[in-house]
Structure 1
Amino acid sequence: MPSPDNAEHLAERIARLEAIEDIKALKHRYLRACDAKDPKEFRACFIASGASIDYGRLGTFADADGIAQVFERIALQKVDGRNVILDMHHATHPDIAIHGETSASGRWTLKFRQVNLLEGTETVATGEYEDEYVVEDGRWKMSKCHFTRYWSITRPIGADCRVDQADGDA
């Protein structure tokens, strides 16, 4: 039978692993919200007020409402009822540190692809997210999300390129 000290240590390790998995799920919800063009879920991934957001060229914000407005303005653009900005976000290599029951930090590598039908371009990029997380209303939320772009390639998509979009029936 394990001693009480071992049981407490095991409980702490399990809590830490659960927190890491919850934070991974948070980041994945955020990325899916970006690609699914879901501004409500996008905003819900951040604390209610006071988040530190730095997305480089997209801007720096002292609250997530600002980046949520930029997200809506860019991602939700439509022409003839079709989306004109098509994004694909994949975050890999999570490095998450738990600092306490309600605070953590993390780094992620982003693989990003965007088709811009307004400009007729495709962009491939990579960079690094540096995040901080806190528990708010019983759930992990981002309190800081800073993105540093490492490099990108933008190339034209020609008239012979066909871009198909789901029409909501799939």
Structure 2
Amino acid sequence: MSSTESGEIAELRRTVTELADRVRRLEATNEVRQLQFKYGYYLDKCLYQEVVDLYSEDGEVVFAGGIYRGRAGIERLYLHRFRERFTGGHNGPVRGFLLDHMIMQDVITIAPDGASARARMRCLMQAGVHESTPEQASRTQFEQWWEGGLYENRYVLEDGVWKIRRLGYTPFWHADYDAGWAHTPPLTNIIPKVTFPEDPLGPDELVDGFEFFPATEVVPFHYPHPVTGV
């Protein structure tokens, strides 16, 4: 074999390796995106157990000024706080309660080793209770409302399956449907003041400085600027 042929074979191998790596990254990106979208669909229908099962064993949730750690903390948030409040302990939708999450504008970064990932996504939610089910009204702050928030999440590949490692959800604003976001007071009452077990439904750790709109803090970006690299 000539040196030219050897060089061409080596170049072909490099190309195949590079393309295979790009395919793995594209597949991982799509799997992470679908994982987060499936999370939203489960949450829409109050399938809280299914949501919990999307997390890794050492997973955690950052939500509205609190950090819920491990499976116990995640279950405390979804099963004991959300499920008990919104569906009375029932795992699944209840008549008259609307909770639709639209997740979009995803920026997903796969780690070089392909075993973990990070993502930034936006969430817009419409929610409310129907007038035919007045018993649901006591479970919510408003009869119908909007919510806007941002995810900065981490994911991990465990035994070939992508799972949520850290869901960092920052709900920026809430808007009573009739009043709008300009006239809806911040929901400061849902920001935790104490941790578990002093608060049986509270987080394992508090996040200092968390505020709702009209505060407009920037949630740190997990990726560098695409032009400046900073």
Q: With the length of structure 2 as denominator, give the TM-score of the two structures.
A: 0.60
Distance, in Å, in 1 between the alignment partners of 2:87 and 2:114 is 36
CA distance in 1, matches of 2:69, 2:95: 29
Structure with the larger strand share: 1
Separation (CA, whole Å) in 2 of partners of 1:62 and 1:83: 31
- Deviation at 1:74? 3.0
- Partners of 1:27 and 1:8 lie apart in 2 by 29
- SS of match in other structure, 1:101: coil
Q: Tell me the matched-pair count.
A: 153
**CA RMSD between the two structures:** 2.4
CA distance 1:153–1:4, change in 2 (3 Å): same
Out of 46, 52, 70, the position equivalent to 2:60 is 52
Structure 1 gaps of 5+ residues are: 157-170
**Structure 1: how far apart are the matches of 2:39 and 2:86?**
14
Equivalent of 1:68 in 58, 68, 78: 78
Matched, 1:121 2:147: no
Cα deviation, residue 66, structure 1: 2.3
- Report how far residue 114 of structure 1 moved: 1.1
| Deviation at residue 84 of structure 1 after TM alignment | 5.0
Amino acid at match of 1:109: R
Corresponding residue number in structure 1 for 2:107: 95
Q: Secondary structure at the match of 1:3?
A: helix
- Report the TM-score when normalising by structure 1: 0.80
Q: Percent identity?
A: 21
Query: Structure 2 matches for 1:67-86, cutoff 5 A?
Result: 67-69=77-79, 70-77=81-88, 82-83=94-95, 85-86=97-98
Which structure has the larger Rg? 2
Structure 2 residue aligned with 1:154: 176
Query: What secondary structure, in the 3-state scheme, does the structure 1 residue paired with 2:82 have?
Result: helix
| Closer/same/farther in 2, CA of residues 84 and 61 from structure 1, 3 Å limit | farther
Contact 1:30 1:42 (8 Å CA) reproduced: yes
